[in-house]
Each structure stands twice: as C-alpha cells, then as structure tokens.
Amino acid sequence: MRKIQLTAESKKDILDDLLKRSPNNYGEYESVVADIIEKVRTKGDEAVFSFTKQFDKWEIDQDKIRVTEEEIAEAFDQMDADFIGVMERAAANITAFHTKQLHNSWIDPRPDGSILGQKITPIAVSGVYVPGGKAAYPSSVLMNVLPAKAAGVKKIVMTTPAGADGKVNPGTLAAAKIAGVDEIYKVGGAQAIAAMAFGTQSIPKVDKIVGPGNIFVALAKKACFGYVSIDSIAGPSEILVIADETANPRYVAADLLSQAEHDELASAILITTCESLADQVSAEIEGFLQELSRADIIKKSLDNYGYQLIASSMDEAIEAANAIASEHLEILTKDPYQVMTRIENAGAIFLGEYSSEPLGDYYAGPNHILPTNGTAKFFSPLNVDDFMKKTSIISYSRQALEQAHQDIELFAAREGLTAHANSIKVRFQA
C-alpha cells in the first residue's frame, strides 16, 4: 500500500486512479457484447446454445437448459448441514431487514372532492444473474432474491453458467432454493442477460435484471437497460477505513484485506489521523500475507489500488471519505457514531471494531449489492424499492377542477399546447 499525505492534489489523483476501474472504461468490449445481444434477440435459443458451447464448453439444448428439482435435491445432498443452517439464518436476517423497507399505497381525499394517491405494485418478473466459474457466491443469491421476495415479486428467474459437465455449483442451487427462486437456467455471460432481457423459446423475458458479473455481463446489462430495468453497473469491490489512534491495527489490516482478496482491481484505502497506526497496519498486513490463501491477488490489489492516506485532522479524513464515496466504509474511531453523522456518501457504513465488513457481506441483513466507483453519491444499496413500481392516482371533482382550470389552461397556452388547454376548457363551456 502506498502511504501518502492527504492533500487536495493527492485526493484528486486517487479519485482519478479509482475511476479507471469503471466498466465505462472498457469500450473495446462493447461491440462484442452488442453482437451477442443482437444474435440472442433475433435467434433466441439457437444463439444461446451456440454461445454456451463456445464459452462454457458444453452442449446445451432445450431439455438440459433448465435446472431440475432432482438437480436441486442433489445439490442439497452435497452440502453439509451446518452450511445449510448458516444460509437459512442469514436468509432470515436479510428478509427481516428488507421487510422493514416496505411502503404502503396511499390515498389523500380532500374537502373539495379531489383525490390524490400513490399505488405501489411489485414488478411481475425479476431476473437474477449469478456468476459461476471458479468462484461461486451463494450470499449474492440471497441478497439479490430476498428483497424481490419481500417486495412481492410473483416470479423470479435465475441464470447461472454451468461447468463443462453441465452442472451448476451446488451452493448456488441450495441458496436459490432457500431464497425461493422459481426457475433456474444454465446460461452465463452476456447471452444470459440478453435472454432475460428479450426472452427466448426457453427463457422467459423479465422486467428487471439484478446481480453481479464480469465485464461482459456488466456491459450487457448496460446495453439492455431500457428494454428492462437493471440494478446498476457494478465495478470492482472497495473498502475505505477511517481510523484514529484508538483503532486496533490488526483489525484494520484484516478488514482492508477482506476486500483486496476479491480481485486485482479491488480497492483498499485507509484514512487515518495517526501515522504510527498506518505503519502498524502495514506490519500486520505483511504478517497476514504469509498465511492467507489469496495472497498473490491481495498483493496485486494493494499495489494497484491500495492507499494509506495520512490526514491532518478528522475533518480532513471525513471530507476525503465523502469525496471517494466508497462501497464499504468502516469507522474505527473513538466515537464512530459522531463521525457517521457527517458521512454523506457511502454504500454501507460499519461502526466500531466488531462490525467488520464481512458481517454485511453475509449475515447482518442489509444488502451487500452496493454502489461502487463513487456512485454512492447518487445510488443506493439494492433494496425493496428496486422491485416496486409506483403509480400516481389523480381524481378531481367538477368543483375541484373548476378552481384550477384557468391556471391549467394558462400553463398549457404558455407552452403552446392548445389541445392540452382545450381538454380542460371543454368541460366548462356552455
């Protein structure tokens, strides 16, 4: 990790460096993704089967594309009971948290006979993409599916790539069953996103696509936005820790490494008012790297996007944290709650030394699908509202409209929309 004195110039340089990781900077892949999407849109299953053979190296057809109940049962048989129990308890926490986010439709009748309101309705079909390959993340299945279930989505369709043997990771299938997925299809990559966006002979069209994936998946979601809704274009994982002299350097080091192990583009940043803490954290990191299984990835991540920023004051540290707008923000200070009140931009905030970031990844309940690459300045974590539609309700009586019709007619006239004005006017002509 590079140790840097925090200044306006160094903060700008770091922000520029972090933004290089954005999926928006991978335009060279867009033509490849566009070709895949167009072929799936026009040829349906034929294109899906062809791309699956090309990229995933197995023969797929209409009889093999959908995961069967027997395959799900087999997956449960392969999982140890302890892990199943952990997933069930995590699912209960996630469901409880997201259920509290629900809003009700409302109606506001007024004395003049007008009625205004809002009708809240869940989307009908949600699509979930789950990565496969070398790594499988059952936690992401729970985080993407359970908010949709809490919202009342009627049908949840999941796509995930199978291995060359045509089998899906058993942890992924077990999590899908626990979360309540209705249909699972063995398709990955940009072709899976296109299949859910447009529908094929085997895979139904969905209303929204959520879930993480590689650059091809991210660009496919971006290209299909408008045909369907999406959650976000996720970038590499990131963590920022604000710490003062009271922080435990071993805890800080462990927490920074928890995100650096994701991939070589992951970002881990420490902002501290105590330079000696930064030195102690560096020593702890060296010790951990001798024992962690993904040490090679961690080293490259820290070399590429790891920083220790030395701030002259906590005010300066907070200002920098708000500018970076990290996906995960840990506050390890004497009074973390006081610091938290001044944080404006973060995907998720973790307070105190026993609120390590993986608590949010797996178990506590809040969603771990979070805004990255500074988008916490205007995006939120995945939540129940992402699976709901809000419809406005308007009802005016003659009395209510009579009081407002001249205002509306004047507004329409000023915009040159005479048919708009006439639509109101005719109701009061003799």
Strands of 388-395's sheet in order across? 106-109, 115-122, 388-395
pLDDT per position as a tens digit, 339-397: 999 999 999 999 999 999 999 999 999 999 999 989 999 999 999 999 999 999 999 99
With beta carbons less than 8 A apart as the criterion, state whether 64 and 166 touch.
Answer: yes
- Residue 35: phi and psi, rounded to 5, are -65, -40
Cα–Cα distance, 3 to 307 (Å, whole number) = 6
Catalytic, 409? Answer: no
Structure tokens at 335: 């009074």
328 is catalytic: yes
Low-confidence ranges of the chain (pLDDT < 70): 23-26, 133-135
Helix axes 138-151, 81-99, angle to 10 degrees: 40
> What confidence score (pLDDT) does residue 178 get?
97
- Distance set, CA 319 to CA 284, 315, 324, 343, 352 (Å): 27, 6, 9, 8, 20
Record the tokens describing residue 138, joined without a space.
């059952």
Residue 43 makes CB contacts below 8 A (sequence gap 6+) with: none
Token pair in block for residue 54: 């090309």
Question: Of 316, 327, 357, 409, which is the active-site residue?
Answer: 327
Out of 238, 262, 316, 328, the active site residue is 328
Which H helix or E strand runs over 118? strand 115-122
Give the closest residue to 192 by CA, choosing from 165, 214, 175, 171. Answer: 214
> What local confidence, expressed as pLDDT, does residue 132 receive?
84
Tracing tokens 């009061």 back to the chain, one arrives at 428
Spell out a b/e string for 282-317, using b for 16 or more CB atoms within 10 Å of the CB, else e: bebbeeebeebeeeebbebbbebbbbbbbbeebebb
Per DSSP, the residues of 54-84 read HHH-S---TTTSBPPHHHHHHHHHHS-HHHH
Place of tokens 């509202």: 385
pLDDT tens column, 11-61: 888 888 887 777 666 677 889 999 999 999 999 999 999 999 999 899 999
Q: What is the pLDDT of residue 395?
A: 97
CA distances from 359 to 76, 143, 157 (A): 25, 13, 27
CA end-to-end span of the chain: 80
Which pLDDT belongs to residue 263? Answer: 85
Tokens standing for 228? 């369907």
For 148, 262, 297, the CA distances from 142, given in Å and listed in that order, are 10, 19, 26
* CA atoms of 416 and 22, how far apart (whole Å): 43
